[in-house]
Amino acid sequence: MIRNKMYLTFEILALLVIAWVWGDMLQGAPKFSEHFTALQSAEDYGLRQAKLRAKEQVKDLRQDVRKQGNSREGRERIKRAEQLLEHTQQVVAFLEGVKRQLNKLPRNRVNDWMIEQKKAYEIKDTLDKYVKWMVKEYKDLTLPELNALAKSNKATPLYSKKESDKDFAHSYFENASKVEVKAFLSQKQLVVKQYEAEVLKKLGAGDLSSDLHPDVAGGVFVHQPLLQIPVGDHLIAEMVIKNFYGVTKANPRFFVNNTPIVVADRQGKVAFVANEVGKKHWQAKFILRIQGRDSIIIHQVPFEVLPKR
């Protein structure tokens, strides 16, 4: 089965970071704690960006549907996208609440609270229910496989026989420090938002349409991971057209700020240097050949360029 590549990336990253931190543990506990704190800060920044992007995508979807005359199909997509954001936010907020509660605990109470008082099992139940709900609710969208987010060691063939029988709670939280647990929870929040983004793509959130029927526009979108970048850095994005809601042989051409880019497998990579500080836009233009005529989809994609620190 094809596994969700984005989730695997996060899992591999987590293992690499853990290996790196274990090496530094030999050099002293303070440095060990600093690494996990830095990891959590990076993950929390990514989470804030993901929240902003999801809101922008649904906002674009509402505008797109309104342009198309508020069709029933379009209104249904908005409803499903809003429902997704609501459920995702409930999970993210629950995990954020756990992190806040951890801040109030003495260091020697973390293991007891997570395992003996079964907080870890509540976390597992919340994550399992979220993924099952998403798979069931959006099964018509042909989603990539969404892996369980709270696996035991039995489901992960990376552990030695000694560790292989541990359940989710003991595997991740047994004798864990407060900073380790908070970094782990931040990582799970970020993966939950990535799952949300996968569904939003399939719903057409962020679709950019000027004169196409909603069924056609439903498979055209821009994916820009970051809304804010430092001056001098490359802005990275992707222009995509997929056959979600009726796009067939459209012979697409893509333009970035009126400059053509290479289209491969109906995807175009966007990359340019942001040279000026401030709030900016770049123009994504899709030209599709539909029924003998060119149909143009234009979207002004917002981003902000920050001064170098």
The strand pairing partners of 223, in sequence order, are: 238
* Residue-level pLDDT at 163: 53
Which has more pLDDT, 39 or 173? 173
Instruction: Encode pLDDT of 83-122 as tens digits.
Output: 999 999 999 999 999 999 999 999 889 989 999 999 999 9
Class for the domain spanning 214-306: mainly beta
- Could you give the 3-state DSSP secondary structure of residue 300? strand
Q: Is 175 left (phi over 0), alpha (psi -120 to 50) or beta?
A: left
Which has more pLDDT, 204 or 18? 204
pLDDT beyond 80 at 220 = no
pLDDT beyond 80 at 166 = no
The string of DSSP codes covering 139-168 is: GGG-PPP---SS--GGG-TTS-TTTTT--H
* Kind plus residue range of the DSSP H or E element containing 295: strand 293-306
pLDDT beyond 50 at 302 = yes
- Could you give the 3-state DSSP secondary structure of residue 296? strand
User: What average pLDDT does this structure show over 160-174?
Assistant: 72
Looking at residue 246, what DSSP letter applies?
A: S
- Lookup: tokens for 261: 């880019």
Query: Cα(188)–Cα(168) distance, rounded to whole angstroms?
Result: 13
Q: How confident is the model at residue 39 (pLDDT cuts 50, 70, 90)?
A: low
* Residue-level pLDDT at 202: 82
Nearest-CA neighbor of 250 among 225, 275, 216?
A: 216
- Could you give the 3-state DSSP secondary structure of residue 207? strand
| Cβ-Cβ contacts under 8 Å for 81 (sequence gap 6 or more) | 57, 58, 61, 200, 203, 205
| Cβ-Cβ contacts under 8 Å for 284 (sequence gap 6 or more) | 208, 222, 237, 239, 254, 255, 256, 270, 298, 299, 301
Beta-carbon count within 10 A of 82 CB: 14
Helices 119-137 and 178-203, axial angle in degrees (round to 10): 10
Q: How confident is the model at residue 151 (pLDDT cuts 50, 70, 90)?
A: confident
Which sequence spans correspond to the domains of the chain? 5-203, 214-306
Query: Cα(209)–Cα(61) distance, rounded to whole angstroms?
Result: 10
